[in-house]
Amino acid sequence: MAFEGLTGRLQSVFSKLRGKGKVSEEDVNEAMREVRLALLEADVNFKVVKDFVAKVKEKSIGKDVMDSFTPGMVIIDIVNKELTELMGGSQAKLAKANKPPTVIMMAGLQGAGKTTTSGKLAKLLQKGNHRPLLVAGDIYRPAAIKQLEVLGEQIKVPVFSLGDKISPVEIAKQGLQHAKDNNLDYVIIDTAGRLHVDEDLMEELKQIHSAVNPDEVLLVVDAMTGQDAVNVADSFNKQLELSGVVLTKLDGDTRGGAALSVKAVTGCPIKFAALGEKIDALEPFHPERMASRILGMGDMLSLIEKAQANIDADKAKEMERKMRNAEFTFDDFLEQMDQVKKLGPIDQILDMLPGMNKAKGMKDLKVDDKQMGRVEAIVHSMTKQEKSQPEIINHNRRKRIAAGSGTSLAEVNRLIKQFDEMRRMMKQFSGMMGGMGGGGKAS
Ligand code: GDP
C-alpha cells in the first residue's frame, strides 16, 4: 500500500517526541531533520519539503507548544494540519455546469489510467443518480475505443464513438451534442495520450478544449511515477489550465511523493484518487483523510463512509461513536470483523484503521480468511465480561482462551496486544479530533 515507508518513518519520529514530557528546541530541530529526510525519501519535491519543514518548525518552536503537557501530540497535530494544507486543505469538488451537461475533459500520458478512470468516473456519477456519457476521443491507441466501450457496457453507461478515422475534435463536438440531444447531464471525454508531453498532443488537447469549452479538465497521473507525475502535471498545466488532478495507482507501493507535491507545485487540487483496477476503485480525494492515513492515524472517516454505504447505518454510527470515545470492545471488534468481510479487500480496510500499519502482527493476520477465523475463535472463547473489559484478561484467562479456541497462548497474547494498541491509537486520534482534548495549553 502507498506511503508505507513514509508512515513508518514519521511514526518513529513521533514516538520519540511523544515519549517526552518536555520538548526542547533541540528536540524539535532533530525531529524536523528526520521529517525532512522522510519526505525526501518519499520522493516529495525538495522545495515543497523545505517549505513544509520550515512551516512546521516555526509553529512547533513556540512557547505554547513547548509548555503544553503533551508537546509531542501538539507537534503531531501541527504536522497533520500542515500535511492537509499541503494537499489542498479541503476536498476539491467536481465542477457542475449551470446548465447541463457538465463537460469533463480527461487528459494524461499514455498508460496513466485515463480510459480506466473515465469509466470509473462515469460509474461514480451514475451512483450519484447522474446520467453520464463517455466519449471515445482516443483514436490513436489501438484498443482505447474498444476498452471504453467494454467499460461502458459493464456499467451500462452509453459510449459515443465515431471510430478512429474522424478527428478527436469532431468526436468531442458531436459527443457533446449527442449528450444534449439525449438529456444526459455529464459528458466525459477520453482523449489520446502520448508517451511524453509533446506539441502535437498539446495542440490537439487545446483544440478539443476550445471546441467543447469544458467545465473540468482533469489530468490523470500515475502516482507510481513520483516526481515525474508532478513534472507532467506542471507541463500540462502550463498549457492547458487544468482544473484538477486524478492520482491513479495509489494502491501500489508508491512512496507518496506525487500526492504530497502535486498541489503545491502546480496549484491544481487533487480531485480523485484511484486505488485499483476495478471499476469502483475511484474515490473523491480528501486531503485531511489522506494526511491522517499518511500519519498512520488511520482513515476512520473513509472507513465509516464505506461502512455506511454497505452496512446498516445505525450500526455504523454507533461504531463511529465508540471509536471516537475509545469505548471499543472485543464485541465491537467481532462485529467489525463481520462487517469488514463485506467491505472488500481486507488489507485496504485494515490500512484505514488507526495503528494497523504499526501493529506489525496484524498484517500477518490479514488477507487470509483462515487466520481471520482463528482471531474470531479467540474472541469467541472470551467470556462476556472479558470482551467488554479486555483489561481483566490476565495470564490464566489467556491460557484458558487459547485452550478454548484451539490456538496458542502466543496468538492470544498477540491479539490482545494489537487490540490494546488499536484502542490507544483511537483514543489519541479522537483526542486530536476534539481540538487536542487533553493536549495542554496549546490550542
Ligand atoms: P490510458 O492509456 O491512460 O488510457 O491508461 P489505461 O486506462 O488503459 O490504464 C493503463 C493501465 O493501468 C491499465 O492496465 C489499468 O488497468 C491500470 N490502472 C489504471 N488505474 C489504476 C489504478 O488505480 N490502480 C492500478 N493498480 N492499476 C490501474
The model's pLDDT over 168-197, given as tens digits with 9 standing for 90+, comes to 999 999 999 999 999 999 999 999 988 888
Residue 180 and residue 266 in one domain: yes
Q: Which CATH number is 18's domain given?
A: 1.20.120.140
Reduced to 3 states (helix: H, G, I; strand: E, B; else coil), residue 384 is: helix
Q: Which of 86, 120, 147 is the last residue of a domain?
A: 86
Q: What is the mean pLDDT of residues 221-244?
A: 92
Q: Is residue 346 part of a domain?
A: yes
pLDDT above 70: residue 434:
no
What was the pLDDT predicted at 350?
Answer: 66
Q: 138: which 3 cell numbers?
A: 482516443
Report how far residue 86's alpha carbon sits from residue 219's, in angstroms, rounded to the nearest whole number: 19
Q: Tell me: the pLDDT tens digits for 83-139?
A: 999 999 999 999 999 999 999 999 999 999 999 999 999 999 999 999 999 999 999
Report how far residue 176's alpha carbon sits from residue 134's, in angstroms, rounded to the nearest whole number: 10
Residue 242 and residue 341 in one domain: no
Q: Which CATH number is 355's domain given?
A: 1.10.260.30
Count of the separate structural domains present in the chain: 3
Residue 243 and residue 114 in one domain: yes
Q: What single letter denotes the amino acid at residue 234?
A: D
Q: Is residue 51 part of a domain?
A: yes
Of the pLDDT bands very low, low, confident and very high (cuts 50, 70, 90), residue 441 is very low
Residue 134 and residue 160 in one domain: yes
Q: How far is the CA of 281 from the centre of ligand 1 (A)?
A: 11
Q: How far is the CA of 274 from the centre of ligand 1 (A)?
A: 9
Q: How far is the CA of 275 from the centre of ligand 1 (A)?
A: 10
Distance set, CA 308 to CA 5, 6, 125 (Å):
30, 30, 18
Q: Best mutation site among 1, 115, 116 for ligand 1, i.e. most ligand atoms within 8 A of its Cβ?
A: 116
What was the pLDDT predicted at 368?
Answer: 58
Q: What is the pTM of this model?
A: 0.73
Residue 19: half-sphere exposure toward Cβ, Cα within 13 Å: 7
Report how far residue 233's alpha carbon sits from residue 237's, in angstroms, rounded to the nearest whole number: 6
β 244-248/132-137 pair status: unpaired
Q: Is residue 97 part of a domain?
A: no
Q: Which atom of ligand 1 is nearest to the CA of 220?
A: 3
Q: How far is the CA of 394 from the centre of ligand 1 (A)?
A: 50
* Mean pLDDT computed over every residue of the chain: 85
Residue 263 and residue 314 in one domain: no
Distance set, CA 378 to CA 375, 393, 398, 413, 424 (Å):
5, 12, 9, 10, 21
**Domain span at 392:** 300-433
Q: Best mutation site among 247, 277, 282, 285 for ligand 1, i.e. most ligand atoms within 8 A of its Cβ?
A: 277
Q: Which of 258, 286, 314 is the last residue of a domain?
A: 286
Q: Is residue 210 part of a domain?
A: yes
Report how far residue 427's alpha carbon sits from residue 280's, in angstroms, rounded to the nearest whole number: 32
b/e per residue 346-359 (b: at least 16 CB within 10 A)? bebbbbbbbbbbbb
- Cβ neighbors of 131 (< 8 A, separation 6 or more) are 183, 184, 185, 186
Residue 341 and residue 422 in one domain: yes
What was the pLDDT predicted at 442?
Answer: 32
Nearest to 298 by CA among 330, 320, 271: 320
